Amino acid sequence: MDATARHLRLLTETIAAVNSSLDLQEVLELVAREVADALGTDACFVYLYDERADELVLRATHGTHVDELTRMPRMRPGEGITGVAALERAPVMIPAEAHLDPRFKGFPNLPEDEYESILAVPILARDTLEGALNVRTREPRVFTEDEIELLVAIASQVAQTIEHAKLYEAAQRRVSELEALARISEAVSESLYLEESLEAIVKTTMESLHATGAALVLEDGKIAWPEGRAGAYAVRMPLRWKRRQIGELVCDRDTPFTDDDRALLEAIAHHAAVALEHGRAVMRGVLAQEIHHRVKNNLQAVASLLRLQARAEHVDPRKALQDSVNRILAIAAVHEVLTEHREDDVELGELVERLRAMLVQGLASGKAVEARVEAVSLAGQRATALALVFTELFQNALEHGGGRVEIELGECDGAVRLEIADDGPGIDGRPEGTGLSIVRALVRDELRGQLRLSSGPGLRAEVVFPA
């Protein structure tokens, strides 16, 4: 077989192999292997041209390798022997001692100086630079004109394949980006809970960018949802809403971020800002609705208590009015605790302390009050009932007891127990007043519990209800 027929066969086989894939990295690795085999060289290096950075980036090798933990070699067109071939759009051949040529550019993580000869050619697609490649041999070698033409022909065909693979890669990346944004949009629109939306955004960010870690940092510096670990490279993308920065999307990984990566992060950051404001708006609406609901319930409770007080006979009007004031202040204390902590439950220890301080200030004159209160929480409506029960019983102990009052509050075996005891004369046959009627009704209907009174010495009132 003559040289022309052999080169034609090598060209055909090489291009057939290279065209067997549309995956860009796989194409470049096939190019390196097939070209080295076609020309019988010891190594082949394939560089891809990064138009944005105006750099040739080494993407594939055959016969040697780059240390995986180091940065891939890069050079501008015109730098190094391969860079000169790319800049001049023409082959460059050095048969021996290529590393001594003044145009040679060495890289500490690429052992090129062990090769004697080099043949470098540009990879051109209709005069557009797509990259460059070179073949190397450890022994001196003069490449013939036919071999140079073969490599130029292979590079020309490879350029079309690389162009198609880049288009395919861009399309695949765009599909992945759209899928990621669609998942984020779905999470933002479907979830009423801000934490769920933020979690979906962070996890989708990590998946889409192959990140080692990601987090959303709010404007107050609080990290809303951290995931993963820090990487060698990090990008902080601002979250903007109506020209105001409301936080940052932070993404980490072990490889550099491309312009496409940053564009995707910017789109995700926009969705994150929308989710953040959407979630806050929902929370503000829910909070306002809850506050209105609580105010309405509290006003209804006040109205019921005032009607009950109005039906009572033979009472001191001044005392009746003061009792009503204390009941309203008890309801207000519950509302205050709920509003301050922005939670659905009330910590009873804090509530009891507020009520105790309020009532002691108005009623107790040198009386000793001892309180043993454990940490117990109740939902708002039940906490309001307990506040009224406590107010009535404690007020009664301060008014009719002796010089000492004891308060106990705790939880045991799934039940809450409130006990108020004084060292006074006890019930002493007195009929139950309006206050005690209110207590019995609240314990029975609102707390679903029991009230037990024991008299002598003093009066001990015990309220037990399911927690």
Domain final position from 170, 190, 212: 170
Same domain for 34 and 124?
yes
d(CA 326, CA 49) in angstroms, rounded, equals: 81
What are the tens digits of pLDDT across the range 367-420?
788 888 888 787 767 777 777 787 778 777 777 777 888 888 888 888 888 888
Does some domain include residue 305?
A: no
325 is a domain residue = yes
Q: What is the mean pLDDT of residues 7-22?
A: 69
- Percent of the chain whose pLDDT exceeds 70: 72
Please check the confidence at residue 300 and state whether its pLDDT lies above 70.
no
Spatial neighbors of 108 by CB under 8 A, at least 6 apart, are 70
Instruction: Please indicate, yes or no, whether residues 150 and 181 belong to a single structural domain of this protein.
Output: no
pLDDT band, very low/low/confident/very high, at 18 (cuts 50, 70, 90): low
Whether residue 289 is contained in a domain is answered as no
Q: How many domains does the chain have?
A: 3
Domain check: are 348 and 413 in the same one? yes
Predicted local confidence at residue 50, as pLDDT: 87
Residue 152 sits in the same domain as residue 7: yes
Domain-ending residue, one of 152, 170, 188: 170
State pLDDT tens for residues 323-375.
666 666 666 666 565 555 555 677 777 777 877 777 776 555 567 888 888 88
Q: Is residue 292 part of a domain?
A: no
Each residue's pLDDT tens digit, 143-187: 989 889 888 888 888 887 777 777 777 767 666 666 766 766 665
Domain residues for 234? 176-280
- Are 425 and 400 spatial neighbours (Cβ–Cβ below 8 Å)? yes
Q: Quick one: 116 and 86 in the same domain?
A: yes
Residue 301's pLDDT band, with cuts at 50, 70 and 90, is low
Q: Are residues 222 and 157 in the same domain?
A: no
Q: Measure Cα distances from 2 to 5, 8, 41 in Å.
A: 6, 10, 20
- Domain containing residue 317: CATH number: 3.30.565.10
Q: Is 86 exposed, middle or buried (0-12, 13-18, 19+ CB in 10 A)?
A: buried
pLDDT at 281 over 70: no
Is 123 within a domain? yes
332 & 393 share domain: yes
Clarify whether residues 425 and 400 are in a common domain: yes
Q: Give dist(CA 389, CA 392) in Å, integer.
A: 5
Q: What is the mean pLDDT of the chain?
A: 77
pLDDT digits (tens, 9 = 90+) for 80-116: 999 999 999 999 999 999 889 999 988 887 777 788 9
Do 411 and 376 contact (CB within 8 A), yes or no? yes
Provide the whole-model pTM.
0.46
Kindly report, residue by residue over 448-457, the tens digit of the pLDDT: 888 888 877 7
**Where does residue 18 rank: exposed (0-12), middle (13-18), buried (19+ CB within 10 A)?**
buried
Is residue 357, in this structure, part of any structural domain at all?
A: yes
Looking at the structure, do residues 426 and 442 belong to the same domain, yes or no? yes
Bridge partner residues of 108 (DSSP) = none
Q: Structure tokens of 213?
A: 């870690």
Instruction: Answer yes or no: is 319 within a domain.
Output: yes
Q: Are residues 319 and 451 in the same domain?
A: yes
pLDDT at 327: 64
In sequence order, the 6+-apart residues with CB closer than 8 A to the CB of 210 are 253, 255
- Residue 303: inside a domain: no
CATH of the domain at 71: 3.30.450.40
User: Domain check: are 146 and 230 in the same one?
Assistant: no
Residue 420 and residue 439 in one domain:
yes
Place of tokens 């190397």: 136
Residue 1, pLDDT score: 47
**What pLDDT is attached to residue 87?**
93
Q: 49-71: per-residue pLDDT in tens?
A: 988 889 998 988 888 877 665 67
Q: List, for residues 101-155, the tens digit of each pLDDT value.
A: 999 988 887 777 788 999 999 988 888 898 999 999 999 999 989 889 888 888 8
* Final residue belonging to a domain, choices 229, 263, 280: 280
